[in-house]
Amino acid sequence: MLRLLFFLPVIFFLFSCEEVYTEGDELFYQISEVDNTRCMEEILDGIWEEGEDNLYRLYDMYESDVPYCGIKNVISIVINRSEQIMAGCYILSNETEVSSAIYEYFMFNRDLTLSEIRELSMNPNYEGFERLFYSTFSDREMERQLKSNREELHELLTNNQSDTLAIQRMKKHVTDSERKLSAQKLIEERLRVYATPAHIRFSYSSEGEKWKTVKRKIELAYYQMRNYECMRYFGETYLHLYERSQRKGKDLDKQKLESLKTMHPAIIIDNDWSKRNK
C-alpha cells in the first residue's frame, strides 16, 4: 500500500481530485496548474526552512555534554566528489531516486502494529531492521508527556533563569508535545511518531548545480510522506489542504497541516563541504 501511494503525489501535481472534500465546501474549485505550481513551490521551500529550524531536536545526539547512547536514525544523502548521488551506502542511478530512497527509509515500518514493532525491532534478520521504527501514543500518554515537559520548563524558569538556551529548547519541547496531543485528537487514534529524532544529513558542495535538484528531491520526500497521511486521515491531498488553508483560512485546516508536520517533522543537516574553508 505504501509503495502504491508513493506515486500518487506525482499525479496530483497537475490534476485535482474533484470528489475530495467537496461536501459542505461551496467554494471548492479545481486548482489551476499555476496555483498547483505556486503552492507546491511554497510547500517545498517551507520544508527546507523547517528542516533547519528543527535542528534543536538533535541537541542530545550531537551537542550535549552527556554522551548519547541511543539509536541515531539518520539517512545520509551525499553528492560525492565524482558527482555520484548516494543514499546511505548505495549509489543511486539518478536524482529521481532520492525521494523514493528517503520515503522508503522513513515509511517502511510505518504500518506495523505495536506488537509487531516490539518483535521486529529486535530481529536483525527482519528486512526493515535498519530502517526507522515508530512509537505510538494514546491521548493519555501524550498528556503525561506534556505535563512532564511543562514541569521541567517550570523548574528551569524557577531555578536556572540564566540558562536561556535550555529554556528555549524546553519551550520548544512543550510546543512539540502540545502539537502531538492536538494531532492525536484530530486523527482519533494512536499517534505514530518517529521513535527518535529521525533526520537527513545532506552532504554536498554548492560549487556545482546538481545539489539544487537533489535538495528539491529531499523536500519532495517529506511532502510525499505528509501527503500519505493526509490522504489516509483527511481524504485529500496535502497540496489541496495547503491551498484551501490559504484561500479560506479555516482553523481546522491549519490544525490539520500542523498535525501532518507533527507526524513527519523535517529535520535536515545541511552539510555544505564548500563552506568549510571560507
Name the band, by pLDDT with cuts 50, 70 and 90, for residue 70: confident
Per-residue confidence (pLDDT) for residue 159, from 0 to 100: 81
Task: Tell me the residue type at 103.
Answer: Y
* Residue ranges of domains in the chain: 2-138+190-275
Name the band, by pLDDT with cuts 50, 70 and 90, for residue 33: confident
Per-residue confidence (pLDDT) for residue 60, from 0 to 100: 85
Between residues 59 and 21, which one has the greater pLDDT?
59
Q: What is the pTM of this model?
A: 0.85
Per-residue confidence (pLDDT) for residue 6, from 0 to 100: 52
11: pLDDT strictly greater than 70: no
CA angle 215, 221, 227 (to 5 degrees): 140
What is the tens place of the pLDDT at every residue in 208-242?
889 999 999 999 999 999 999 999 999 999 999 99
